[in-house]
Amino acid sequence: MNSLSTLKTGTPPASHTEPAAAAPLNTKTLFPQGSRERTIVHDNTEYRLRITAQGKLILTK
Ordered structural domains, the chain, with CATH: 21-61 (2.10.70.10)
Q: How confident is the model at residue 14 (pLDDT cuts 50, 70, 90)?
A: low
What is the SS3 assignment for 56?
coil
**pLDDT exceeds cutoff 60 at 29:** yes
Its pTM stands at: 0.59
36 touches 51 (CB < 8 A): yes
Q: How confident is the model at residue 5 (pLDDT cuts 50, 70, 90)?
A: very low
What average pLDDT score do residues 17-36 get? Answer: 84
50 Cβ partners below 8 Å, 6+ apart? Answer: 36, 37, 38, 57, 58, 60
Query: CA-CA distance, 31 to 27, in Å (whole number)?
Result: 6
